[in-house]
Amino acid sequence: MDEEGWYSVTPEKVAAHIAKRCAGRTVVDAFCGVGGNTIQFALQGSRVIAVDIDPVKIMCAKHNAGVYGVLDKIEFICGDFMTMRDRGVQADVVFLSPPWGGPSYVNEEVYCINSMMSINGDALFRAAAAIAPNVIYYMPRNVNRDQLAALAGPAGVCEIEEVYLNGRLKVLAAYYGDLVVATEGEGANDDDGGGAGGGCHGRNGGGGGGRRKGVGKGAGKVVGANGPDANSDFFMELDYD
């Protein structure tokens, strides 16, 4: 694993939690890095297309996939994700975890997806949506949540999940398409361990009960978003040791 891989790889339990929503589907990991998420997708029975522009990262990801015994479930492509549609790549889900610009992002009060990454965040989402009907955006905890909600469009739904490690908010995961597990007025269930309860709210307000479970211990409220004018917060604690 190279130096960047050490600080950018998704924690294994978080990657496993995200991968469960995609079990059995074809998933494009658009910025696979050293393979942390790619491996967890494969362990959930998904066919994975792992893309990275850095050949060193691809080499590391292949090695790590071999260690986990899932090398045969993954197609590796060394190239620019933004060209994948032109190359005929299609999938059920695209997982977006683009480079955040290095560790200095934590010093920003609000992280803008359109100015603080090397690629425009809106354009990246559109490229993903052209490949698959379902998208996951893995973003820093200080990201502008209204920007993430706006990507769903006026009639769409976005679920934004706060991920906590040992009681501290670490990252956000935004889900689009049928990966959203709770819609307005509905609850959702998972079998991962701890729990979260609350209501789901969209552009027109409203809300509903429901409980869902997270990785290990946790509790939070569930809030959806239907476009840029909606309440865009979705809380889900995933505390574990």
Both tokens assigned to 88: 């005929």
Sign of the C-alpha dihedral computed for residues 106, 65, 94 and 192 taken in this order:
negative
Task: For 83-122, write each residue's pLDDT tens digit.
Answer: 999 999 999 999 999 998 766 666 778 999 998 988 999 9
Task: For 150-193, write each residue's pLDDT tens digit.
Answer: 999 988 889 999 988 788 888 999 999 999 986 443 433 344 43
The pTM score is 0.77
- Give the pLDDT band of residue 230 (cuts 50, 70, 90): very low
CA nearest neighbour of 37 among 78, 84, 112, 97: 97
Query: Which residues lie below 8 Å from residue 66, measured CB to CB, with a gap of 6+?
Result: none
Both tokens assigned to 240: 């574990």
Q: Are 233 and 158 in contact (CB under 8 A)?
A: no
Task: For 6-62, write each residue's pLDDT tens digit.
Answer: 445 788 989 999 999 999 999 999 999 999 999 999 999 999 999 999 999 999 999
